[in-house]
Structures are given as structure tokens and as C-alpha cells.
Chains A and B, each alone.
Chain A
């Protein structure tokens, strides 16, 4: 968990996202390492789910493709083993509750520890349902990343008190995917969180342009998901330079603000 703090705190950090196994196992491993080499400070590894209900079309299509290729949870673990040969960048899983529940919470967290995956995000496990999982996550020293939204309101202090790793502020309503227009309302939430905790705060959902990367100057990090998946969708065989340029541009925007 400390690796996450070190990677993000006061760093104008950039968090990338990739769907494990997309477009295929080999390329996926390579592109994740490329993202780390391009300067991503932390990478979220999506484990594909049949019904990714918090995700927009880009990530949904990638998930579907990966599952059609026959990818299993064990293949994702194999992918992490490959990646870990080339990079120490902090990693967190992003997936839905069911694949983790089915694998077994304890077995899954123990696996995360042995693979050196520092944390996990499960968008369909809200505060009300986290206790059992968080208890085990703590035993294994894995971070459970809390989500805060513009709607969280008076739930915020309680969410923050259960947070570890970093806090994920959801910038807007709806589902993942690039937005043409993005408001900077989330900055207010970031400020409120910072009054309550030292845990790094990241803003994500819909960020895909240079100007949008500059919007959330109060956050320790921005998270970009769909835009990176889109690059891989458009350049499945040779995404390296596109990913690298994009990440460097977005990091440049971050550094230009502070």
C-alpha cells in the first residue's frame, strides 16, 4: 500500500488503465509495460467481466473480446507474472465483485499478494457490503480503493475513513467513456477529502484530452481508462508509440498546472 502512496502523493501523477488480455495476451503484457515506461505512475488492470455495468461501450467491447478469446482469471494472473519481469510500477486490479467472489475472497487476495498487486477496485461493492472483504484485504496488506462521487454527500466521511491506497473520485454521472465536456466540480470533493485524510486522491471518468487533464489540479492523480483502451482498439498491432505519446502529453498537462 505504501508503494501506492509513494507513487501518487504530490506527484501530479497519471494512472493508466488496461483490460488484461486485450487485444491479446502478448500485446496486452507489452502495452502495460509500455505504459509504465511512458511514465504511468500506477496502472489499473481490468479483469474482464461478462456484464460490466459501470462501463461504457469502449471498455465493454474490450471485455467482450477478451472473454471471446477464452481468457480466464488464471490467465490474468499469468499476465501479471509476465509484466512483473519488466516493471515494478504499482498495480491495482479493477473488476466486478462476482469474478472475485467466485474465486474466493481470501484466495484472490492471497494471489494478489504473491503477484505484487497492491490493491483492488470493485465498483459494485459499496460501503454497505465491504466489511468482509476489507477485513481479509487488510490481513494481506492489499488496498481497497474507495470510490467517491459527486452524489456521495454525507457518505463521504465514512467512505474516507474506510479508504486505503488512494481514493477514486468519479468526475461525473454515468458510466466510463470519453466525455466531450467535463466539469471541474470534482475539485471541490477533492478538497473536502484532503481535509479528512492524507491518502492520495485521484480523479477519473471521462478524461481524454490535454485540457481535461489540466482540470483537476487539486488531485494527486488523474485516471485515464477508456481513452487508452481506445488507442489499443485503433492500433491493436502497434500501439506503443501512440500510448507513449498520449501518456507523455497528459503528464505534460498535469505538470503544466502545478
Chain B
């Protein structure tokens, strides 16, 4: 951060006065516990003994050989308990909530992975959980809705606005303003008002912390490029964090182009967005010239978001990271490719990053190496991909 809560000119705390005391309370707790040894020990214990960390760094031999260029390594966040990187952040925030004496967790969710992780933590800690999910997402990720309910959470289908992730975020903030005393908003990505982008990065940094030493141990050196899909940017900032100071490591975020950056049906915030202030932060957004937030589209419910975390915009602006779009078609092709080549069913979000690796690996030398952050597993997407391919299956 350049000044508290800001990355360059991006970030801040653009929330109603009604929420500021709650936000300040979270900031104080985060400041207090992030360097607290007992807290850190408890979190590490949860990571290792509950969430199945460290996640392995897997050398994708078949893919590397087939693509014929750079060696490809997959950081297997898909093997975490609950099947995605989201659990890292959720366990951290839920532990803070618990220390603050909060008894109720609320969260937005897009693909449902963050909602599932939050419902899981609530079950583990004996807390209440209420999850807000755009109605459209409850339909394309129906299995995750049931999973959340199974874990004891209440799921609200959000019917306002475009009925996807951004509307779920609005609804969760609204719920928080109605009930602040006992409630903690577990934000699922590196977005929103400070301290959320910083707190989410703090908990997700475990990805690059592990990966950095795994690379050194396995290959004796750092990767030449780190690739991660970007929705709000939590798995990407976690995968980038400990490499930011290693200027030889190229950092690449992959955003969802949907049907293409030259169409209206896209979620490519970096390619097409402009500066704005929304969801508590100054960042980049897909919006009209009048500042109305655009409806966005991607096959991936987790990348279907009109904004991006403020630190990513800053990293782009200082030329430390770059951001590239991948279309639905390319992501689906990568989803199928990695399943057939490596025997891994990857989340459609992560498949966007795989697709970009497929593009650049052949152009790189064999002694170069790429890390792809495999942010989640794809079981949740199987039915939707079948539909996309026109295959008729009974769920």
C-alpha cells in the first residue's frame, strides 16, 4: 500500500456512514491479529490440518510435452478442502470474526465456491451463515446452492439488478447495514473497501509463499511467469504477492472476455473498463460514460464481475503485471484439454488461466517455466459445460 488503504490512487473506503464503524472495527481487528502469534498459529493449524495445505505444486508433464515449449507447473488450489482457493481467505476472516465475538457470517458468492467455503467455516466454528447469490447464478451453479444448504447455511437468491455477482455484493452490503452488531461480512475477493483488499491478499498470499519455496526446491529457481484467472482478483493477488519483488517473474492475470472483447457480452474489466468508484473502492470498472455500471457476461460465474481489485489496477499501471482476456470458447477448450491431457477437471475460472498457458507455452523455450494457479476444481462446472456443448445430461 502506498498510503493506508490505497494502492497508488486506487482503493479507499467508499461506503455509507452507516457501515464505517463496522469497517473500522474490522480494520482494528485485522491490524491486531495479522501479526499476532497465537492467531497465526491457529490459522496455520487450520490450513494444514483442516484445509489440506500446503497445496502441491504439480509438474504437468503431459501438457508441457504436448505444448512443446515452457515447462508447466500447476499450483493445486483445487485440492484444498472445499475445492478452491476461497477457503484460505474464509478461514482467515472467520477466525478474525470469531475473535471479534461475531456469531453470524454473511457472504456474496458467484460460482458458489466462496459461499461453500463460508458455509463450511460457519459449520466448523458453530456460527450462523447467510449467503447471497444472484438468482441467475443459483441456476447455473445449482449444485453449490444445495451444498451450502447441506452445510447449514441459508442461501438468498438475489433478484435485483442483473441477478449476478455484483448484485449479490450489493445485497450483502445491504444486509450488513441492517444487522451490524453480531455480523461479519466475509468478502470473497480482493475487492471492496479497505481493509478487505489487503486482508484478502494477506490470507491468499499463502499460495505464492508456498509456491515460491516449492519452485526453488523442485527446480532450483523461480518461474518465468505466474498465471492466474482474475474475477475480483483474490487467487491472482495471492499467487502474485510473494513474487512481486522478483522482477524476473512475469505476472499475468487472465480475465474473462466472455463472447469477446469486441462484443457487449464480456467481463474484461482491464481491457475495456475505466476508472470509477463502486463497491467501496476506487478501481477500474465496466461502465457507461455516465458512470452506470454495465451488465457483464462470462460463462464463468466466478469471473462475471464488472470490477477488479484496486491493487491489480495499480500493478498494471506501474507495469508490474499484465492482464489479458480469454473467451468462453478458449476457456471451454482448455477445460477439456487439461481433463484429457492431465486427468484434472479444473474450474472454468481456472481454465481461463490454463487457456492462456496453452497460448504462450509453445512460444517459450524448454528451459523456461510457467506456474498456472489452478484456483479450483471443476466438478461444479461439469453440468454447465455439458449444456454449453449441447450435451443433454440429467443432473
Q: Contact residues of A with B, CB < 8 Å?
A: 49-51, 53-54, 57, 60, 64, 67, 72-73, 97-103, 123-129, 146-149, 151-153, 155, 159, 170, 173-175
Contacts and interface: CB of A to CB of B under 8 A. Distances in A.
Contacts of B280: 124
B291 A175 contact: no
Nearest to A102: B291
Contacts of A147: 16-18
B290 A148 contact: no
Interface of B: 5, 12-18, 20-22, 160-161, 166-167, 170, 173-174, 177-180, 274-278, 280, 285, 287, 289-293
A151 B21 contact: yes
A126 B174 contact: no
13 contacts: A51-B161, A51-B166, A51-B170, A53-B173, A60-B160, A97-B278, A99-B292, A101-B291, A151-B18, A151-B22, A155-B17, A174-B177, A175-B178
Contacts of A159: 17
A124 B179 contact: no
Nearest to B289: A102
Contact of B177 (A98, A126, A146, A173): A173
Contact of A98 (B20, B174, B277): B277
A98 B278 contact: yes
Nearest to A153: B21
Contacts of A170: 17-18
Contacts of B20: 126-128, 152, 155
Contacts of A53: 16, 170, 173-174
B228 to A, nearest CB: 27
Contact of A49 (B178, B285, B292): B292
B159 to A, nearest CB: 10
A106 to B, nearest CB: 15
Contacts of B5: 128
A67 B18 contact: no
Contacts of A155: 17, 20-21
Contacts of B21: 151-153, 155
B110 to A, nearest CB: 16
Nearest to A152: B17
Given A126-B14, A155-B20, A54 B177 contact: yes
B277 A148 contact: no
A151 B180 CA distance: 10
Contacts of B161: 50-51, 64
A201 to B, nearest CB: 15
Contacts of A152: 17, 20-21
